[in-house]
Amino acid sequence: MIAIIDYGMGNLRSVQKGFEKVGFEAVVTSDPKVVLEAERIVLPGVGAFPDCMRNLEHGGFVEPILKVIREGRPFLGICLGLQLLFTESEEFGIHKGLDVIPGRVVRFPEGMTEEEEELKVPHMGWNQLSFKLRPPAFSGIPDGTNFYFVHSYYVRPDDSSVIATTTRYGIDFCSSVWKDNIVATQFHPEKSQEKGLAILQNFGAMK
């Protein structure tokens, strides 16, 4: 069973429907006990980093998340669910994250350009992945595949060896990470059509 953590941030039904489309049972839960019993865990999220951390703490999810990660169960972070794994974020001040992956969440710099055209923040729409590592969840995804993004902040890991993919948007930024049993994406697999569903299917099959 796949548990999708509901801490009051984001449209979790779309993630659940994505798993159902590829043949996996997934439950949306606000109960930390269900997370502790699940075989695989998904941490999605949209919104502001400090609000999300506060909701995780108030919902009693922090220790269960850290426990299932320590135990080696497959863990998927999506969008803000990637950022929350890091040490801290500079969104609306400096705020502590789960500190599972050392590093920081930072905002895209102002005045970015591409081919002399000014780029807007948030970064929103389809963009390509460039592979550095290929976690099992990305099996069969060709280099250069487009996925759907919407974000103003990106992760900067202290250890570059956890970077699975980068994406170009004014700068080359880390668009996904892979560390042991954790795979986490800045993009939205559930909004990325066929290739996004392939990632959900691969994750659902992970041991």
Among the listed residues 52, 79, 91, 123, the single catalytic one is: 79
CA 62 – CA 44 distance, rounded (Å): 14
CA 94 – CA 88 distance, rounded (Å): 7
Mean pLDDT value of segment 113-137: 95
Q: Give the CATH number of domain 2-204.
A: 3.40.50.880
Query: How many angstroms separate the Cα of 135 from the Cα of each of 13, 29, 158?
Result: 25, 26, 19
List the chain domain ranges. Answer: 2-204
| Cβ–Cβ < 8 Å for 81, 43 | yes
Against a cut of 0.85, is the pTM above it?
Answer: yes
Q: How confident is the model at residue 116 (pLDDT cuts 50, 70, 90)?
A: confident
Q: How confident is the model at residue 149 (pLDDT cuts 50, 70, 90)?
A: very high
Among the listed residues 52, 116, 188, 194, the single catalytic one is: 188
118 belongs to the catalytic site: no
Burial class (CB in 10 A: 0-12, 13-18, 19+), 53: buried
20 belongs to the catalytic site: no
How do residues 162-195 score in pLDDT, each as one tens digit?
A: 999 999 999 999 999 999 999 999 999 999 999 9
- Residue type present at position 1: M
91 belongs to the catalytic site: no
CA 181 – CA 194 distance, rounded (Å): 24
What is the pLDDT, as a whole number, of residue 123? 97
Among the listed residues 52, 151, 174, 190, the single catalytic one is: 190
